Amino acid sequence: MNVPFFTSTREYANHKAAFDESVLSVMAHGGFILGKDVETFEQACAKYLGVKYALGVASGSDALVLASDVLGFRDGAEVLTPTFTFFASTSCVARLGAKPVFVDLDEETLNMNVNDAEKRLTARTKGIIPVHLFLQSADMSHVMQLAQKHGLKVLEDSAEAFGMKTQVNGEWKSAGTIGDAGVYSFFPTKTLGGYGDAGLLVTNDEELYKKFRSYRVHGSSVKYHHDYIGYNSRLDTMQAAILNVKLGYVDQAIARRAVHAKHYNERLSSLQNLRFPKIRPSNQEVYYVYNILAERRDELAEHLKNKGIGVSIYYPIPLHLQKCFSYLGHKRGDFPVAEKVCSDILALPMFPELTADEIDYVCDAIESFYL
Ligand SMILES: Cc1ncc(COP(=O)(O)O)c(C=O)c1O
């Protein structure tokens, strides 16, 4: 049997008529830049997430750069960011001349350790970028307390967090809608994934929204009048047409992911050679990725690949050890929790159309490896 790590082809086959109609309607009306498909998607996302303003942009990475620029995460400002995350959570501020100040992670949830963040505050700290990784939100109550106490701007990297919820002061909120701004990625593998690159910026602050909107089109709100040096980063209209179809059944897709995660848990949780991320009680999880922390991880990954099973490692190297950040002067041992997780973590196949037989095949293969 071959079990792909991810594929969109089964989804396309299941919803072919709706996708074809939506994409062909864009071809027919010929308005390829912004327009009604993008606006419909933005409004539907704002409603789904429970946030005032949503703005479609070209990718999650672009959303992070654009928001960092507007929030002033630039020119020598220090910004707290986890060392264990996707590169774009940090490159966004580094490229604008800000100094990324890395933070270790919480061993149980794999999210930012906010106590560690607090220890790294200085008079130059301007902001914080909590990242909601894999299946659950970072501890946003704690992040917001810290931000209020020290006057920090909060940019939530919710690239992986579409549909995740978390409790802040007793109230359930969508991850990404709690800080000053939040960004989402619609990279194809994501819980709400496009058929290409796409992203979203959200905020409850009208002034920020107006600035984000302007930054999306070269810093201009009236054509050829430039108030800022902005970007060209619009959500592609074709992607909006695809995402409009997918948003219609995203809750069912999330529910299928939960069924698969339960199946993996039931089959794997008694294996002594594995550990699993723990979910905080104040989080409602969404399985963008199903991770295990495995003994002899690299050998296990090889074994699974030889059996035709697609696996992935998010993330093999923490950011403080990346060559491009060597100027920050970190060395191995500086962030021990992140370094250990990088050597143990392994992501198993996870997408809504996965079958129970495929999951059993993956679990049989893991069991046989440790026998
Ligand atoms: C945590 C995190 N931040 C940022 C991004 C960047 O998003 P994109 O691939 O849409 O640029 C991703 C996804 O790839 C991500 O997982």
Ligand 1 center to residue 63 CA distance, Å? 9
**pLDDT recorded at residue 126:** 98
Question: Which residues have any ligand 1 atom within 6 Å of their CB?
Answer: 59-61, 85-86, 88-89, 131, 157, 159-160, 185, 187, 197, 199
**pLDDT recorded at residue 27:** 97
Asked whether residue 39 falls in the same domain as residue 177, the answer is yes
Ligand 1 center to residue 83 CA distance, Å? 15
Q: Work out the percent of the chain whose per-residue pLDDT is above 90.
A: 99
> What is the CATH classification number for the domain harbouring 26?
3.40.640.10
Ligand 1 center to residue 82 CA distance, Å? 14
Average confidence score pLDDT of the chain: 98
Asked whether residue 64 falls in the same domain as residue 212, the answer is yes
**pLDDT recorded at residue 167:** 97
Asked whether residue 240 falls in the same domain as residue 264, the answer is no
Asked whether residue 358 falls in the same domain as residue 222, the answer is no
Asked whether residue 172 falls in the same domain as residue 237, the answer is yes
Asked whether residue 61 falls in the same domain as residue 204, the answer is yes
d(CA 219, CA 89): 23
Asked whether residue 191 falls in the same domain as residue 261, the answer is no
**pLDDT recorded at residue 359:** 98
Instruction: Report which protein residue has its CA nearest ligand 1's atom 10.
Output: 60
Is residue 346 domain-resident?
A: yes
Is residue 172 domain-resident?
A: yes
- Report the nearest atom of ligand 1 relative to the CA of 197: 10
Total domains present in the chain:
2
Ligand 1 center to residue 212 CA distance, Å? 18
Nearest to 22 by CA among 210, 277, 251, 244: 244
Is residue 3 domain-resident?
A: no
d(CA 69, CA 291): 33
Residue 309 belongs to what domain range? 250-370
Q: Work out the percent of the chain whose per-residue pLDDT is above 70.
A: 100
Is residue 1 domain-resident?
A: no
**pLDDT recorded at residue 281:** 96
Is residue 177 domain-resident?
A: yes
Is residue 4 domain-resident?
A: no
Ligand 1 center to residue 61 CA distance, Å? 6
Task: From 57, 81, 185, give the residue whose CB has the most ligand 1 atoms within 8 Å, as the site to mutate.
Answer: 185
Instruction: Report which protein residue has its CA nearest ligand 1's atom 7.
Output: 60
pLDDT, tens digit (0-9, with 9 covering 90-100), for 281-314: 999 999 999 999 999 999 999 999 999 999 999 9
Asked whether residue 157 falls in the same domain as residue 103, the answer is yes
Ligand 1 center to residue 60 CA distance, Å? 5
Asked whether residue 113 falls in the same domain as residue 186, the answer is yes
pLDDT band at 184 (very low <50, low <70, confident <90, very high): very high
Asked whether residue 279 falls in the same domain as residue 295, the answer is yes
Is residue 66 domain-resident?
A: yes
**pLDDT recorded at residue 200:** 98
> What is the CATH classification number for the domain harbouring 290?
3.90.1150.10
Ligand 1 center to residue 134 CA distance, Å? 11
Of 247, 264, 287, the domain-final residue: 247
Asked whether residue 14 falls in the same domain as residue 98, the answer is yes
- Report the nearest atom of ligand 1 relative to the CA of 88: 4
Is residue 135 domain-resident?
A: yes
Of 247, 268, 290, the domain-final residue: 247
Asked whether residue 266 falls in the same domain as residue 225, the answer is no
Of 213, 247, 281, the domain-final residue: 247
